[in-house]
């Protein structure tokens, strides 16, 4: 994976940094694994705007990604590594020995022609999915389940990874990408390796128009608003706006909003770093 800096042939191109797409092997997705994706522009079912700063953007089709990896002990061959407009990570098209095709999240180092398999008795190699009970301690993992059978929902974005630290009884201790250390059931599945496209964090859009292509509309700074519109609005001249807070008056930057009685708190060993 690499990034490319463009020649400054226009003001927008001057600072633009784009993905090299070295790992991508095809630009044509598998038709049987595509689904329509309708845009709502931040509106609910009555047409009322419920989320600001959303609208427009390029038309997309959703790729049906297999987050469960529940086809156990059946080997699959990686056919292609593809770009997915719906996520920051790359995806891989795999074909099982029985002919079924699925998309999976591509791990860093996954190659076309490589065999991947999921199960309790498979080798802990990049792209393979195992329960936490079968993964060696210290291994870099990603696409981790929080509840057995529900599918991966931790460490799925570009460059993300977690580390298996310890096992005790029916729980494994995992250090998450946020820095939080928490206990997860050893029956939950995880995939070996870090997520692909780790250079995503180095990209620079270069111009406001690229945000519009991604469906992001302009955002007005709160200090530029009037007092009726935001707690940080108003004042004479360029007033800073007082203490940072959101539109409803809840303090931002360091104020903890997590419920003290939340059921999952007992599984968190160490909170994420501030």
Over the stretch 149-204, which tens digit does the pLDDT of each residue have? Answer: 999 999 999 999 999 999 999 999 999 999 999 999 999 999 999 999 999 999 99
- Structure confidence at residue 240 (pLDDT): 83
Judge whether residue 1 has pLDDT over 80: no
Over the stretch 102-144, which tens digit does the pLDDT of each residue have? Answer: 999 999 999 999 999 999 999 999 999 999 999 999 999 999 9
Over the stretch 64-104, which tens digit does the pLDDT of each residue have? Answer: 999 999 999 999 999 999 999 999 999 999 999 999 999 99
- Structure confidence at residue 70 (pLDDT): 95
Locate the domains of the chain by residue range: 3-201
What is the residue-averaged pLDDT of the chain? 95
Judge whether residue 233 has pLDDT over 80: yes
What average pLDDT does this structure show over 207-230? 94
Helix (H, G, I), strand (E, B), or coil: what is residue 259? coil
Beta strands in the chain (DSSP E): 3-5, 17-19, 34-36, 61-63, 76-82, 91-96, 101-105, 115-116, 129-131, 140-142, 144-145, 152-154, 162-168, 171-175, 181-185, 189-192, 268-270
For 43, counting Cβ atoms within 10 Å of its Cβ (0-12 exposed, 13-18 middle, 19+ buried), the class is middle
- pTM for the full predicted model: 0.92
What CATH architecture does domain 3-201 belong to?
Beta Barrel (2.40)
State how far the Cα of 202 lies from the Cα of 200, in Å rounded to an integer: 5
What average pLDDT does this structure show over 4-26? 93
Judge whether residue 273 has pLDDT over 90: no
């Amino acid at each position: 994976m690499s990034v490319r800096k463009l020649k400054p042939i226009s003001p927008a191109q001057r600072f633009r940094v784009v993905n090299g797409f070295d790992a991508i092997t095809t630009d044509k997705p598998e038709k049987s694994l595509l689904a329509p994706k309708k845009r709502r522009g931040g509106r609910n079912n009555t047409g009322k705007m419920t989320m600001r700063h959303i609208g427009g953007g390029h038309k997309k089709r959703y790729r049906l990604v297999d987050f469960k990896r529940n086809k156990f002990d059946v080997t699959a061959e990686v056919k292609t590594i593809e770009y997915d407009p719906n996520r920051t990570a790359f995806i891989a098209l795999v074909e099982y020995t029985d002919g079924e095709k699925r998309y999976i999240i591509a791990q860093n180092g996954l190659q076309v022609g490589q065999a991947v398999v999921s199960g309790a008795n498979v080798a802990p190699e990049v792209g393979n999915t195992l329960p936490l009970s079968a993964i060696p301690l210290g291994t870099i993992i990603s696409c981790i389940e929080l509840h057995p059978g529900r599918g991966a929902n931790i460490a799925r974005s570009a460059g993300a990874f977690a580390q298996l630290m310890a096992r005790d009884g029916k729980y494994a201790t995992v250090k998450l990408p946020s820095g939080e250390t928490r206990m997860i059931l050893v029956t939950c599945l995880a995939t070996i390796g870090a997520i692909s496209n780790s250079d995503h964090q180095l990209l620079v859009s270069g111009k406001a128009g690229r945000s519009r292509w991604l469906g992001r509309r302009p955002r007005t700074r709160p200090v530029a608003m009037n007092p009726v519109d935001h707690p940080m609005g108003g004042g004479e001249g360029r007033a800073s706006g007082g203490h940072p807070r959101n539109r409803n008056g809840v303090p931002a930057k360091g104020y903890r909003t997590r419920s003290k009685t939340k059921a999952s708190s007992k599984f968190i060993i160490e909170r994420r770093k501030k």
